[in-house]
């Protein structure tokens, strides 16, 4: 019997609208009359309320969904029985579309498929931590929110196997009765199709089939009858993804390992699957080798990555065909500024020359004689006339007294005059020295037009 909108269930859930109906029950959108919260209300049909197996399955879903607290799993919040003997289950209401509707549109893009699968694996991993194997993972039991699959919810733990106390010491052992077959044949693992004891690795196989179908748009196995399909799942090796699909090699390897025919050849844990998904997701990135985790691009990192650097490598710029950076020197100054700097420099040079040589007299430097240990004199030539060469200096007589022009004897004056005349003659004979003008101390001063040459 269907529930009409406006009917109140268990004195607190008001039926708003029907959402769907199956052979064992119906699902309604309802509102908690006290909390004003929208929920999904699942109600068994009265015709199956006396079936112990159906009721046990319903209770199993309530226990499983109620014990898993994860954003990628639809949580159960209430379970009860109506006066007519039927059972109801209250679940988190999810406003979205199931994965089956997306696959029916055609193959899903590789990157979006990996994003969806990562969320599904996270939800399944949360169930495995509670000792729960889903056993019926398929696109119909995966809900997508926000239109692009960024949010995912795993549904329907109705045939889930819940770990018993006896198996608590071994998380891989989930007890069931040998010979019983539960699930959808298209997504069953070979061991599940044969009715063997299963563990979490049977869910990994189902995840591989879902990912295969998202990428290829078709399932790996098909058959005209349920028996033929089951036989192929049990006896044949799962096919690889078609070669013409635009899928990276890491993704192909991920699907192949998930759907390995033998359970021991599949992944050991959901964490290993997540690592493999991350590697496959970034395979095309030229800056991230497989096995590394990408660094989140925060605002500060993004700004730093595009900020100009303080140092520019001139060689690298030249290799790229760009001009070398120039330093701000005299070339960057205006002509007026350069003229002022040049004039100041000349004035400083002239002032230094005047201070050093301004007190000297005559056209030659000062020659000082100091007595030696044996009474003779040794000469020390300082600031000599640059017009005198080495030969001229050798011809100069060694003075016997200090020559400053004062107190000179007649012979001394005569000797100095001869030396000056000899020096003048040597300068006149040298075309490079002829006509040169000297300043104080005999220093040659070039004309102004040659100061900066």
| Residue 438: CB atoms within 10 Å | 15
Which residue from 365, 348, 368, 345 is spatially nearest to 357, judged by alpha carbons?
Answer: 365
pLDDT in tens, 94-140: 988 899 999 999 999 999 999 999 999 999 999 999 999 999 999 99
pLDDT in tens, 7-47: 999 999 999 999 988 778 899 999 999 999 999 999 988 88
Quote the mean pLDDT of the chain. 74
Q: Which residues contact 380 (CB under 8 A, 6 or more apart)?
A: 367, 368, 369, 370
Question: How far is the C-alpha of 41 from the C-alpha of 4, rounded, in Å?
Answer: 13
pLDDT in tens, 106-117: 999 999 999 999
Q: Which residues contact 395 (CB under 8 A, 6 or more apart)?
A: 422
316-351 exposure pattern, b = at least 16 Cβ within 10 A, e = fewer? eeeeeeeeeeeeeeeeeeeeeeeeeeeeeeeeeeee
Spell out the domain ranges in the chain: 1-93, 96-294, 336-450
Confidence of residue 169 (pLDDT cuts 50, 70, 90): very low
Which residue from 177, 201, 180 is spatially nearest to 189, judged by alpha carbons?
Answer: 201
425 is catalytic: no
Which residue from 86, 88, 62 is spatially nearest to 76, judged by alpha carbons?
Answer: 62
pLDDT at 109: 93
pLDDT in tens, 320-369: 454 544 444 554 455 566 667 767 777 777 777 767 665 444 444 443 44
Question: How far is the C-alpha of 130 from the C-alpha of 66, rounded, in Å?
Answer: 11
Domain over 1-93 is classified CATH 3.30.450.40? no
Is the predicted pLDDT of residue 195 greater than 50, yes or no?
yes
For 293, the token pair is 């985790």
pLDDT in tens, 387-404: 444 444 444 444 444 444
Per the CB < 8 A criterion, the answer to whether 190 and 180 are in contact is no
Confidence of residue 61 (pLDDT cuts 50, 70, 90): confident
Q: Please, what's the largest Cα pairwise distance for the chain? A: 154
May I ask the CATH architecture of the domain 96-294? Answer: Orthogonal Bundle (1.10)
Q: Does 96-294 match 1-93 at the fold level?
A: no
pLDDT at 70: 93
Per the CB < 8 A criterion, the answer to whether 257 and 204 are in contact is no
Backbone φ and ψ of 119, nearest 5°: -65, -40
Per the CB < 8 A criterion, the answer to whether 392 and 426 are in contact is yes
Confidence of residue 235 (pLDDT cuts 50, 70, 90): very high
Per the CB < 8 A criterion, the answer to whether 208 and 186 are in contact is no
For 98, the token pair is 């199931």
pLDDT greater at residue 263 or residue 447: 263
Residue from 136, 199, 278, 385 carrying the catalytic annotation = 136
pLDDT in tens, 261-317: 999 999 999 999 999 999 888 754 444 444 444 434 334 333 333 333 334 344 444
């Amino acid at each position: 019997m269907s529930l009409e909108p406006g009917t109140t269930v268990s004195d607190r859930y008001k039926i708003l609208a029907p959402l769907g109906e199956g052979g064992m029950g119906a699902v309604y959108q309802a509102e908690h009359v006290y909390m004003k919260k929208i929920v999904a209300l699942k109600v068994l049909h009265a015709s199956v309320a006396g079936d112990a197996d159906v009721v046990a399955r319903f209770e199993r879903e309530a226990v499983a969904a109620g014990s898993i607290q994860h954003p990628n799993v639809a949580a159960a919040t209430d379970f009860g029985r109506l006066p007519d003997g039927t059972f109801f289950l209250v679940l988190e209401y999810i406003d979205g579309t199931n994965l089956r509707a997306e696959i029916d549109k055609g193959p899903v893009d590789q990157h979006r498929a990996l994003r969806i699968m990562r969320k599904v694996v996270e939800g399944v991993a949360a169930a495995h931590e509670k000792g729960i194997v889903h056993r019926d993972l398929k696109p119909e039991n995966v809900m997508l929110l926000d239109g692009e699959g960024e949010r995912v919810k795993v549904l329907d733990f109705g045939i889930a196997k819940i770990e018993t106390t006896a198996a608590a010491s071994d998380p891989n052992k989930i007890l069931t009765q040998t010979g019983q077959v539960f699930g959808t044949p298209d997504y069953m693992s070979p061991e599940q199709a044969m009715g063997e004891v299963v563990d979490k690795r049977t869910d990994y196989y189902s995840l591989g089939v879902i990912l295969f179908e998202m990428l290829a748009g078709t399932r790996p196995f098909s058959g005209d009858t349920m028996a033929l399909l089951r036989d192929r799942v049990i006896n044949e090796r799962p096919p690889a993804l078609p070669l013409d699909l635009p899928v990276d090699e890491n993704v192909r390897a991920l699907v192949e390992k998930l759907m390995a025919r033998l359970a021991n050849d599949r992944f050991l844990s959901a964490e290993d699957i997540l690592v493999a998904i991350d590697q496959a997701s970034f395979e095309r990135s030229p800056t991230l080798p497989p096995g590394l985790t990408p660094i989140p691009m925060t605002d500060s990192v993004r700004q730093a990555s595009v900020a100009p650097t303080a140092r520019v490598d001139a060689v690298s710029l030249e290799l790229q065909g760009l001009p070398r950076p120039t330093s701000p020197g005299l070339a960057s100054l205006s002509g007026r500024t350069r003229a002022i700097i040049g004039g100041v420099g000349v004035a400083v040079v002239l002032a230094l020359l005047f201070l050093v040589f301004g007190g000297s007299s005559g056209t030659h430097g000062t020659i000082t004689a100091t007595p030696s240990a044996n009474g003779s004199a040794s000469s020390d030539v300082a600031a000599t006339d640059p017009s005198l060469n080495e030969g001229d200096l050798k011809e100069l007589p060694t003075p016997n007294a200090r020559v400053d022009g004062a107190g000179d004897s007649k012979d001394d004056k005569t000797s100095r005059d001869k030396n000056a005349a000899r020096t003048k003659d040597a300068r006149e004979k040298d075309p490079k020295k002829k006509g040169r003008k000297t300043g104080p101390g005999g220093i040659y001063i070039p004309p102004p037009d040659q100061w900066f040459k």
